[in-house]
Structure 1
């Protein structure tokens, strides 16, 4: 059984979701509640990540993540994941600099979009995720279009993620506003699916909230982790 090393704390709420879901799916696969997976979590500081990106210090961010993954390798992890979308802005460099395999939440989401036959998807997440190309390019390389909300909508989505969701706060008014933004993207941009491109977004947007197909990056990543643990 391969041991997972997870860079967590990005933020704490989604790290808890990863941990609990991995345990649940592991036990389901094993057919017993009396087994638990052996894994390692290195919880780092998401506010340092935001600071690196705000200052455009991507080298500093890469160094921070490489150090976090090297720590996981030292304690015995066979492979690693970063349990957040935003830090994947430097994923390629990080992956090249570490010795154990690191599995990208972005690449796994692209694979799922291909399975579902989606062609033009909306992307919501932190402002860093929406305004940069690290999430869009892998989709475009496979002939898919990624659409982001307007500048004003992006600002609202980002502020609520940082002020509310990262702190475990689920506000019904925020949810209604998020859903309205997605509906506007359907009408305005003709999207045929939406990427929940922040691992806290599934706290507030549920599968039955929209008729539109959702690419829940958190669940997609967790499903892949379970596959890898048993591979």
Structure 2
């Protein structure tokens, strides 16, 4: 198997899911006592959040690219960035690498297109929902993307940063996400992207009338398949 380099800690709650899901996929596909060869760098997320909200993206890009190079030099044969939002900086990271970068947006879009869907509702951080870097990546796969209203986006974002990233899973927040997803479906979404790696902690298939696509699971499975060699 090939070694995967994980850039995590954004937040560690979802990075822990990556570790579990990647190893489960390898075990299920290979059997016996097989598990994935992984290298991980885990950030102090408080610093990353401060850079995000201050618009210090150049500083963040330099740091992430340096970590990717560090993992590559340590033997990683592909890089997995364990967060949707920081894929805003994917081009900066890729420019400093010589190994593959497994993009969460591409992996998710391919899974959606394989199911035959085209009009997707997107949940994520305010950056993922409002900026072009993620939506354009989905559109490149011929997907039409719907995002929640301004007030709904504020609630979705607040729950991610103030609750899920701290490991808090609240029934009131689940109900709010259910309302937001229902509104997207009413506007024509034929599936929902859980486009933040913590959202899977709160909602899933049972919380909406359409199929959901868990970016954490999809990304982890894609990484595991790369490690195995398929």
Task: Give the counterpart of 2:193 among 192, 195, 201.
Answer: 195
Name the count of aligned residue pairs.
229
CA contact (8 A) 1:6 1:42 kept: yes
SS in 1 for 2:133: coil
Residue 204 of structure 2: which of 203, 206, 214 is its match?
206
Cα displacement string for residues 115-161 of structure 1 (whole angstroms, at most 9, x for unaligned residues): 11111111111111111111111222333211111111111111111
**C-alpha separation between the residues in 1 aligned to 2:23 and 2:218?**
15
Aligned to 2:25: 25
Secondary structure at the residue paired with 1:121? strand
Separation in 2, partners of 1:203, 1:40: 24
Name the counterpart of 1:144.
143
Preserved contact between residue 52 and residue 61 of structure 1 (Cα < 8 Å): yes
Partners of 1:5 and 1:72 within 8 A in 2: yes
**RMSD across aligned positions (CA):** 1.3
CA contact (8 A) 1:44 1:68 kept: no
Match runs of 1:67-146 below 5 Å: 67-146=66-145
Report deviation, 1:39: 0.9
Instruction: Could you tell me which runs of 5 or more consecutive residues in structure 1 were left unpaired when the two chains were aligned.
Output: none
CA distance in 1, matches of 2:139, 2:100: 24
Structure 1 equivalent of residue 213 of structure 2: 215
| 1:171 aligned residue | 170
Work out the CA distance in 2 between the residues paired with 1:37 and 1:119.
33
The structure 1 residue matched to 2:222, chosen from 215, 224, 229, is 224
Distance 1:143 1:177, change over 3 A: same
Distance 1:75 1:104 in 2: 21
Cα distance, 1:222 vs structure 2 = 1.0
What SS does the corresponding residue of 2:106 show, helix, strand or coil? helix
Q: C-alpha distance in 2, partners of 1:209/1:154? A: 18
Shift of 1:211: 2.4
Structure 2 equivalent of residue 181 of structure 1: 180
* 1-structure distance, mates of 2:210, 2:89: 30
TM-score by length of 2: 0.95
SS of structure 1 residue aligned to 2:161? helix
Q: Cα offset for 1:17?
A: 0.6
For the structure 1 residues 63 and 219, does the alpha-carbon distance in structure 2 shift closer, same or farther, using more than 3 Å as the test? same
What does residue 11 of structure 1 align with?
Answer: 11
- Residue aligning to 1:40: 39
